[in-house]
């Protein structure tokens, strides 16, 4: 916005003369290299990417989640240990694994 108001006040021809440029042809290669040497390029290095496992590790670093996961593991042990037959054991495992996955999904989302 400042350039536009500045150009309006002094005129476009004066502005192009001060900037040593041409509106039809732009900068010459020599002027371009001089400006790059003086001002640097207009490029910015991309930020370093954070690996996905870092996000995963940070999401799991919660005391309550750790407590719930430990309780779910203990519950699996109780249900499997005190089950009367194989079908009750498998139902207990599935129920607790479902709970386990719900905890993880809620934490990661």
In the chain, the N- to C-terminal Cα span, in Å, equals: 42
Q: What is the pLDDT of residue 31?
A: 84
Nearest to 96 by CA among 68, 56, 54, 55: 68
Distance, in Å, from the CA atom of 103 to the CA atom of 100, rounded to the nearest integer, reads: 5
Over range 42-68, report the average pLDDT.
83
Over range 68-81, report the average pLDDT.
77
pTM score: 0.39
- pLDDT 10s digits, 8-51: 667 778 877 877 887 888 888 888 888 888 888 888 888 899 89
**Residues in CB range of 35: below 8 A, 6 or more apart:** 27
Distance, in Å, from the CA atom of 10 to the CA atom of 100, rounded to the nearest integer, reads: 70
């Amino acid at each position: 916005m400042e350039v536009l108001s500045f150009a309006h006040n002094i005129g476009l021809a004066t502005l192009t003369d001060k900037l040593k440029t041409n509106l039809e042809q732009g900068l010459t290669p020599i002027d371009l290299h001089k400006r790059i040497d003086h001002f640097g390029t207009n490029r910015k290095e991309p930020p370093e990417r954070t690996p996905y496992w870092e996000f995963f590790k940070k999401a799991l670093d919660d005391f309550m989640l750790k407590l719930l996961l430990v309780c779910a593991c203990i519950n699996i042990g109780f249900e499997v240990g005190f089950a009367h037959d194989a079908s009750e054991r498998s139902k207990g495992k599935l129920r607790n694994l479902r709970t386990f996955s719900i905890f993880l999904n809620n934490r990661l989302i």
